[in-house]
Amino acid sequence: MENQEFAEIRKKLSKTQKEIAILLGVSLKAICSYEQGWRSVPGHVERQLLFLLSRKHQSNQLNCWEIRKCPDEKKRKCPAWEFKSGEFCWFISGTICDNTVYGSLDEKLTICKDCEVMKKIK
């Protein structure tokens, strides 16, 4: 996540740097560093920030498997479907996006950024 994107999401959440630091469980200095581009935003912080954004702006969102039109055999193997979490597919590691299971959170979030499910959240 780029520093400008981090700051934009914080503003969409209507939070000060201090308030978002408390919500994310990091220091105010870390938030300042993310927004200035001095430090990269860790995957776990990015995921938490996106979760807060998804909850703030929830709508009648469809499940990811409906949006992506996944066939039944793919759905049955996917943790998002197993745990009935289609609006949180980006939050769950091990989902089967692009017919690949991404092991690391950073790899997964990179793929999710271009996904139509994530675009509905942002």
> What is the tens place of the pLDDT at every residue in 77-94?
888 888 888 888 888 878
pLDDT above 90 covers a percentage of the chain that reads 39
First and final C-alpha spacing in the chain: 13
Write down the pTM of the prediction.
0.67
100: pLDDT strictly greater than 90: no
3-state SS string over 31-97? HHHHHHCCCCCCHHHHHHHHHHHHHHCCCCCCCHHHHCCCCHHHHHHCHHHHCCCHHHHHHCCCCEE
> What is the tens place of the pLDDT at every residue in 50-80?
888 888 766 556 788 988 898 998 888 888 8
pLDDT at 39: 95
Tell me the three state secondary structure of residue 103: coil
